[in-house]
Amino acid sequence: MIGGGSWATTVASLTAHNGPTTLWARNTDTVSEINEQHSNEKYLPGAMLHPSLVASGYLNETVRDADVIVMGVPAQSFREVLLQAKPSIRPWVPIISLSKGLEKGSKMRMTQIIEDVMPGHPAGVLTGPNLAKEIAIGQAAASVISLVDVTISQALQKVFRTGLFRVYTNEDVIGCELGGALKNIIAISTGMGDGAGAGENTRAAIITRGLAEITRLGVAMGGRPETFAGLAGMGDLVVTCSSAKSRNRSVGYALGQGQKFEDIIAGMHEVAEGVKSAPVVMELARDYGIEMPIANEVYKVLYEGSTVRQAFRGLLKMKVGSEAEPG
């Protein structure tokens, strides 16, 4: 496992149930805490990690003998860290992404970065409605492991699943990755509404219309429509838009309450991927000719100085037609 944040640590603790697992983290205090106290209080307060999980501060030593590499770092650091690990990764080892973002500049998904940096390695994604803090304390959840090669997916299914963590397979890598990346922007929007006191009806409308936006762009980019109705799409969207544990919703909520964007980001110790991905998503929407009004209003709040009130006014002014149409 490459990464010592909340989700990376949680997944490493899960895989430790099924086989020897080593986690690499930059922070030496995190490494010591995992090895000595079997916890990571900064990111997973109150959770006890599997006692066999080992942590290391040495990246190359961590990956040198690994049969599976799991990348649990933020999207904008993904390429850099993978390049650092590359010289020590053995040939043909599967590389799985946990990151739900898109790379600035290249507009690549994480599996595309893996294929670019590590050609010949099976590239996949583990994604779904997975709040790390709930899973870390033993609450039930379901996820999706997605690779093009079904045989490898089925083998990795056994690596990640535990009694209360169900893992399904899905061949639609594009759809699974885009579902995870795109829903973060919709979660910021629902947070904005909640923070401004817009109500539960408003939240339901944003989630539903947001899913339509995600599906339109996702299908245009090669994803399958049914993927966006499953765990990697609707499932992940619902939990991210509804939970106070969601980082992206929390950013939106603070914006809805009138806090300044710069202050919100400065006060966070984990990355809200939707903030970084919003410009990339709008570029992709333009590239594919897809209308994404909700995502566009969120982008304007984050990067063009628009207010939450102006964002909702902009959505309300849009022409209302068939539910199958944008808007």
**pLDDT tens readout for residues 157-193:** 999 999 999 999 999 999 999 999 999 999 999 999 9
Is 214 found in the same domain as 139?
A: no
Q: Among residues of the chain, what percentage have pLDDT more than 90?
A: 89
- Residue 105 bridge partners (DSSP): none
Kind of pairing between the strands at 95-97 and 123-127: parallel
Residue 110 structural domain: 6-171
Token reading at 138:
């033993």
Q: Is 64 contained in some domain?
A: yes
The confidence band for 319, taking pLDDT boundaries of 50, 70 and 90, is low
Say what the pTM is: 0.93
Is 138 found in the same domain as 30?
A: yes
At position 235, the amino acid (one-letter code) is: G
The confidence band for 321, taking pLDDT boundaries of 50, 70 and 90, is low
pLDDT digits (tens, 9 = 90+) for 78-110: 999 999 999 999 999 999 999 999 999 999 999
Of 183, 260, 276, 319, the active-site residue reads: 183
Is 183 found in the same domain as 159?
A: no
Q: Is 51 contained in some domain?
A: yes
Is 182 found in the same domain as 90?
A: no
How long is the chain? 327
Q: What is the chain's mean pLDDT, rounded?
A: 94
| Beta-carbon contacts of residue 230 (< 8 Å; ≥ 6 apart) | 144, 170
CATH number of the domain bearing residue 269: 1.10.1040.10
pLDDT over threshold 60, residue 111? yes
pLDDT over threshold 90, residue 250? yes
Total tally of structural domains belonging to the chain: 2
pLDDT over threshold 70, residue 66? yes
Q: Is 304 contained in some domain?
A: yes
Q: What is the DSSP letter of 25?
A: -
Cite the beta strand spans of 112-210 per DSSP E. 123-127, 141-146, 165-170
pLDDT digits (tens, 9 = 90+) for 142-166: 999 999 999 999 999 999 999 999 9
Residue 183 known to be catalytic: yes
Burial zone of 25 (CB within 10 Å; 0-12 exposed, 13-18 middle, 19+ buried) = buried
pLDDT at 293: 93
pLDDT at 316: 66
Q: How many angstroms separate the Cα of 89 from the Cα of each of 62, 67, 80, 117, 224? A: 9, 9, 15, 12, 32
pLDDT digits (tens, 9 = 90+) for 273-313: 889 999 999 999 999 999 999 999 999 999 999 999 998 88
Is 205 found in the same domain as 86?
A: no
| Cβ–Cβ under 8 Å, residues 228 and 196 | no
pLDDT at 193: 93
CATH number of the domain bearing residue 158: 3.40.50.720
Q: Distance between CA atoms of 269 and 250, rounded to whole angstroms?
A: 13
| Beta-carbon contacts of residue 158 (< 8 Å; ≥ 6 apart) | 18
pLDDT over threshold 80, residue 320? no
Q: Distance between CA atoms of 202 and 169, rounded to whole angstroms?
A: 33
Domain-terminating residue out of 137, 153, 171? 171
Domain-terminating residue out of 117, 136, 171? 171
Closest CA to 145 of 120, 124, 123, 122: 124
Q: Is 137 contained in some domain?
A: yes
Q: Distance between CA atoms of 49 and 39, rounded to whole angstroms?
A: 5
pLDDT at 268: 81
Is 53 found in the same domain as 21?
A: yes
| First-to-final CA distance of the chain | 41
pLDDT at 211: 97
15-29, 252-266, 313-327: least confident range: 313-327
| Cβ–Cβ under 8 Å, residues 80 and 104 | no
Q: Is 327 contained in some domain?
A: no
Is 260 found in the same domain as 140?
A: no
pLDDT over threshold 90, residue 270? no
Degrees to nearest 5, angle at CA 3 with 295 and 178 = 30
Q: Is 325 contained in some domain?
A: no
pLDDT over threshold 80, residue 224? yes
Closest CA to 159 of 116, 124, 109, 119: 124
Domain-terminating residue out of 147, 171, 195? 171
Q: Is 322 contained in some domain?
A: no
Residue 56 DSSP SS3: strand
pLDDT over threshold 70, residue 323? no
Alpha helical stretches, state H, 221-320: 236-242, 247-256, 261-266, 273-288, 293-303, 308-316
Is 99 found in the same domain as 192?
A: no
**The tokens 């544990």 sit on which residue?**
245
Is 52 found in the same domain as 159?
A: yes
Is 231 found in the same domain as 187?
A: yes
Average pLDDT on 104-125 reads 97
Is 254 found in the same domain as 108?
A: no
Average pLDDT on 263-270 reads 84
| Cβ–Cβ under 8 Å, residues 219 and 277 | no
Is 220 found in the same domain as 143?
A: no
Q: Is 321 contained in some domain?
A: no
